[in-house]
Amino acid sequence: MQKTSGEGQLAATGSPSALPTIALVSGVAMAVGAGAILGVRRRRAAAGSGDGTGAAA
């Protein structure tokens, strides 16, 4: 049986450190996009879209 000295480093495992930042930025981008879509729909509904369907957004 071989003895180990207990020295050295463990293998690097897990996700890269940039992953939480990337996830946060993408979540913020999705929220901004959803807000923009809702804002456009509300403005069109208030002004009347003129598409002739009579559907309200």
56: three-class secondary structure by DSSP: coil
Q: Who contacts 56 (Cβ-Cβ below 8 Å, separation ≥6)?
A: 45
Length of the chain: 57
**Given pLDDT bands bounded at 50, 70 and 90, which one contains residue 31?**
very high
User: What is the spatial distance between Cα 38 and Cα 46, in angstroms, rounded to a whole number?
Assistant: 12
pLDDT score, position 12: 75
pTM for this predicted structure: 0.53
**pLDDT digits 0-9 by tens, 37-47:** 999 999 988 88
Query: What is the arithmetic mean of pLDDT over 25-52?
Result: 89
Q: Are 57 and 44 in contact (CB under 8 A)?
A: yes
Judged against a pLDDT cut of 70, whether residue 3 lies above it is answered with no
